[in-house]
Amino acid sequence: MASKTKSKGTYYERSVMNIFDTYGYASIRTLGSGGGTKKPKPDIITSNGTNTYAIEVKQRNSNVLYISWSQINELKRFSITFGATPLIVYKFGRRPFKVIEANSIQKNNSKNYKITITDATMKLTNYIGAIE
């Protein structure tokens, strides 16, 4: 039986897929993302034939989310090889999903990239609507 954390992650990944599907994208979850292999893999790959995205999905009930630089770099590396735009889609509690393009993230001296609930990033539905 899957752990509660893993099934929650799966639930949010499927929720993101459903949002993209609403806009005419075809999406797949990559099994074993985040572990079980030495090759980097995102949580989701989605495309509408014109735009392709490799997506890491994060959810926190707190007001802060930390993402390791190694995870961001692996997402970027996969995206270059696959020809996709790397996205981090995240959600705080019951708030809507938001998105940040991983290529816009600049490394700093800390061990992790920090996203807070007050960061001015775009809602996922607005992001997808803007590229249509």
The residues annotated as belonging to the active site are 33
Beta strands in the chain (DSSP E): 26-29, 44-47, 52-60, 64-68, 85-92, 98-101, 112-116, 122-123
R_g (Cα) of the chain, nearest Å = 14
Side chain identity, residue 103: N
Supply φ then ψ for residue 43, to 5 degrees. Answer: -75, -40
